[in-house]
Structure 1
Amino acid sequence: MTDAAKHGFTTKQLHAGAAPDPATGARNTPIYQSTAYVFKSPEHAANLFALKEVGYIYSRLTNPTVGALQERIAALEGGAGAVCCSSGHAAQILALFPLMGPGKNIVASTRLYGGTLTQFSQTIKRFGWSAKFVDFDDTQAVADAIDDDTRAVFCESIANPGGYITDLDAISAVSDKAGIPLIVDNTTATPYLCNPIDHGATLVVHSTTKYLTGNGSVTGGCVVDSGKFDWMASDKFPSLSQPEPAYHGLIFAEALGPMAFTFHGIAIGLRDLGMTMNPQGAHYTLMGIETLSLRMREHVKNAQIISAWLENHDAVEAVTYAGLPSSPYHSRVAKICPKGAGGLFTIQLKGGHDACVKLIENLELFSHVANLGDAKSLIIHPASTTHSQLSDAEKIAAGAAPNLVRISIGIEDSDDLIADLEQALSK
């Protein structure tokens, strides 16, 4: 799409990265269900493999349907480029892969999705990487945790499960001073509610499975590069700033400038890790993004109404929604998420764990699933599911205490959702 930067969000979500198919005139982006692509000549093939030309080689690396999605998400986030992959967890590894090495670490927020906490605290150890977990409300603690081996700072814009909002401006100031990239998981906010790059993020990751697709049909992930980080400023990132043996000594940052990280993610990351997004999944996500702004407005409206109602319910001890004036994160909404605080929050029940179980068992419209960001309303008990692998102290720090449930508010009629919650809470 020409002059994408000049268009509004809703126009971009419909048109960015897409154009009528040149061969058939098809208006929707086709599902290019092809493994490989015919080269024009031996010279063309050699140039593609040497990164001297841009084009399609093999669908583990590039695919036209996936490419359209990458362009669209990059446009919505205001990034230079994007790489789509098989899941949100794949996106996190893909984002870290060019930055890390044995003995290197990341500084990460304590308020993260349970699976991310496990990936960072356990799984990445197998690569020789490590993570330090810090309360990101304490920016001095974040700064103190960064050492000579730190290669990234990681947080969520709106944290899962509690809906806490991170002060991205304050955190990016810390990472900038240390000369390391800030990676922000923007899954829960989406680019409609928050633009982390505008607040200093270097990289933005998504589980496209959630709000971007919005219908619970496919898994996927994405890494968006701001194109603004100077990888040559230090010797901390040799994958990008030093000769790459697999590409005849090419220096990605020198040769590709703002697109260095994106090309590395495809040419090295997808090539060697194989975290490929399938074209049909990309197609579903492209279709979902076309209604993102409309859906997010309904998610926010419903969450505002229902969280306020829950806060005054006799069975409820507390509600964590940042859109409520009572939230300690309410003041950050206007700065970080000016269009609203999202559709995700937790509620603490006075009856503790048993009350949480009974609530879930008696709900009729809410679906009890391990997902969020669906058009339908969802609920789960994090302490016994998504965060069950954590210690009690870690659960509390992550906002997943045993006496709370996570609610992902959908776009149904708010009166119907309140009636369902009322009848379940009464039992």
Structure 2
Amino acid sequence: MSDRLPGFSTLAVHAGAQPDPTTGARATPIYQTTSFVFNDADHAASLFGLQSFGNIYTRIGNPTNAVLEERVAALEGGTAALAVASGHAAQVVVLQQLLQPGDEFIAARKLYGGSINQFTHAFKSFGWNVVWADPDDIATFERAVSPRTKAIFIESIANPGGSITDIEAISTVARKAGVPLIVDNTLASPYLIRPIDHGADIVVHSLTKFLGGHGNSLGGIIVDAGTFDWSTGGKYPMLSEPRPEYHGIRLQETFGNFAFAIACRVLGLRDLGPALSPFNAFMILTGIETLPLRMQKHCDNAKAIAEFLAGHPAVASVSYAGLPGDKYNQLARKYAPRGAGAVFTFSLKGGYDAGVSLVSKLQLFSHLANVGDTRSLVIHPASTTHSQLDDAAKVKSGAGPDVVRLSIGIEDKEDLIADLEQALSP
């Protein structure tokens, strides 16, 4: 056996997977079952008491899902992971372990519109309060810290504008405040950015997007970096205090550097119930096998199309960090040297009406609310994904009335450019 550490592409194909021991099947089987037989009463008791690892019920864990979890943890450089039903579910499960009613978390203003809505409105019913900060002004994160702050949440590449966030700078703020940094790495994928390498303590994904990559399966995942001491200062009782459900076990003490992933599984997923189906896990695993190939093509296409749009007379501006003149280009070179991602926005000189007209005239691009598909996608955020925000909030989040968002697929770039050219023609 070689001591060589596997490369990214090798991990994308092999991490977490072995031939099925019973049948010899090379592809990971879909374990389409609700529950699993125990060896005996003692075995059942040890599983329910967290004294041994194994399968109980698919709401809590499943062998197909376990391969997906191990694979994404390996790609991100984490200690463990938990797959759930969607990216939104991942955010709920993560914050449930960290926040009590009345607590706060700081979030970057530049986020996916659904996350802004979730944080602003849905989380109020849990008594969780969001405090917004500007990722272009790190001092706003410092000023937002209070005694009630329990976490900081950012996106590595922000949706919809494709701006690059200075993860290391915000990690410094989180360390000083004694709180974990949560990074949504959906738009980058670990192929472009590994947030744990830059100070993230927790990484979340919508598996629906680039990791799955084919627009056919919903899923989310939580990756534990194993870097945060949950016992410090008594801020995180879900992890540091005895758990009555498990005979007084202290999760941090018992599980060490993967305690957060365990907490998300046995306290979050178990009780909230947003389980990922084994079939979706299988589909997403299949997608991940080609992640390195797809992401590079996505990025190469996106840069070519951004360059085309930047020179078009109907376009007022292009926000793509891969362009040399873009304000985030230096951060892109630092954090994402392989490419600045496949999602970006551009503004049309004709404003709101021009944006609506463009999406109706495109033929190869699909007009829908998703990103990260093999197919190229388009949406006008102000009339769709960010429509619940007022005009000022739309502009702050990078979704002004004149903005169009593209998610560039893996088609031939010449065909994509031709489609945009005809749609932009008067």
What is the TM-score normalised by the length of structure 2?
A: 0.99
CA separation of 1:353 and 1:70: change in aligned 2, threshold 3 A: same
One-letter amino acid of the counterpart of residue 25, structure 2: A
One-letter amino acid of the counterpart of residue 338, structure 1: P
C-alpha deviation, 1:140, in angstroms: 1.2
Deviations, residues 334-365 of structure 1 (Å, cap 9, x unaligned): 21112110000001000111111111111110
CA separation of 1:268 and 1:380: change in aligned 2, threshold 3 A: same
Mapped partners of 2:2, 2:279: distance in 1: 28
C-alpha deviation, 1:381, in angstroms: 0.5
The reply on whether 1:68 has 2:67 as its aligned counterpart is yes
One-letter amino acid of the counterpart of residue 266, structure 1: R
Mapped partners of 2:197, 2:176: distance in 1: 17
Gaps of 5+ in 2: none
The reply on whether 1:29 has 2:28 as its aligned counterpart is yes
Mapped partners of 2:165, 2:3: distance in 1: 28
C-alpha deviation, 1:372, in angstroms: 0.2
Deviations, residues 55-85 of structure 1 (Å, cap 9, x unaligned): 0000000100000000000000000000000
* Equivalence for 2:159: 160
CA separation of 1:184 and 1:345: change in aligned 2, threshold 3 A: same
Question: Contact conserved, 1:162 with 1:344, CA < 8 A, in 2?
Answer: yes
Question: Contact conserved, 1:4 with 1:12, CA < 8 A, in 2?
Answer: no
C-alpha deviation, 1:187, in angstroms: 0.2
* Equivalence for 2:141: 142
* Equivalence for 1:79: 78
C-alpha deviation, 1:3, in angstroms: 8.8
C-alpha deviation, 1:268, in angstroms: 1.0
Deviations, residues 205-226 of structure 1 (Å, cap 9, x unaligned): 0000000011100100000000
Mapped partners of 2:12, 2:213: distance in 1: 13
Deviations, residues 95-132 of structure 1 (Å, cap 9, x unaligned): 11110001001100000000000100111010011101
Mapped partners of 1:31, 1:4: distance in 2: 31
* Equivalence for 2:199: 200
* Equivalence for 1:212: 211
C-alpha deviation, 1:5, in angstroms: 8.3
Mapped partners of 1:105, 1:275: distance in 2: 23
- The alignment's C-alpha RMSD in Å is 1.0
Question: Contact conserved, 1:4 with 1:75, CA < 8 A, in 2?
Answer: no
* Equivalence for 2:335: 336
Deviations, residues 134-190 of structure 1 (Å, cap 9, x unaligned): 101211110110111011000000000000000001000110111100000000000
Mapped partners of 1:5, 1:79: distance in 2: 18
SS state of the match for residue 97, structure 1? helix
One-letter amino acid of the counterpart of residue 184, structure 1: V
Question: Contact conserved, 1:4 with 1:16, CA < 8 A, in 2?
Answer: no
* Equivalence for 2:288: 289
Mapped partners of 1:326, 1:339: distance in 2: 18
SS state of the match for residue 333, structure 2? helix
One-letter amino acid of the counterpart of residue 259, structure 1: F
CA separation of 1:106 and 1:306: change in aligned 2, threshold 3 A: same
Mapped partners of 2:421, 2:45: distance in 1: 65
One-letter amino acid of the counterpart of residue 270, structure 1: L
* Equivalence for 1:246: 245
SS state of the match for residue 97, structure 2? coil
Deviations, residues 9-28 of structure 1 (Å, cap 9, x unaligned): 00000000101000000000
Mapped partners of 2:403, 2:127: distance in 1: 35
Mapped partners of 2:192, 2:234: distance in 1: 35
One-letter amino acid of the counterpart of residue 158, structure 1: I
* Equivalence for 1:183: 182
One-letter amino acid of the counterpart of residue 357, structure 2: K
One-letter amino acid of the counterpart of residue 89, structure 1: H
* Equivalence for 1:6: 5
SS state of the match for residue 234, structure 1? helix
One-letter amino acid of the counterpart of residue 177, structure 1: K
Mapped partners of 2:350, 2:2: distance in 1: 55
What is the TM-score normalised by the length of structure 1?
A: 0.99
The reply on whether 1:51 has 2:47 as its aligned counterpart is no
**Which stretch has the larger CA shift, 262-271 or 77-86?**
262-271
* Equivalence for 2:322: 323
* Equivalence for 1:268: 267
One-letter amino acid of the counterpart of residue 64, structure 1: P
Question: Contact conserved, 1:368 with 1:380, CA < 8 A, in 2?
Answer: yes
CA separation of 1:89 and 1:306: change in aligned 2, threshold 3 A: same
* Equivalence for 2:37: 38
One-letter amino acid of the counterpart of residue 57, structure 1: I
C-alpha deviation, 1:259, in angstroms: 1.3
SS state of the match for residue 389, structure 1? coil
Mapped partners of 1:334, 1:357: distance in 2: 33
Map 1:73-152 onto structure 2 (within 5 A).
73-152=72-151
C-alpha deviation, 1:333, in angstroms: 1.0
Mapped partners of 1:311, 1:55: distance in 2: 54
The count of residues paired between Structure 1 and Structure 2 equals 426
Mapped partners of 1:183, 1:322: distance in 2: 22
One-letter amino acid of the counterpart of residue 101, structure 1: Q
Percent of aligned pairs with the same amino acid: 54
CA separation of 1:410 and 1:161: change in aligned 2, threshold 3 A: same
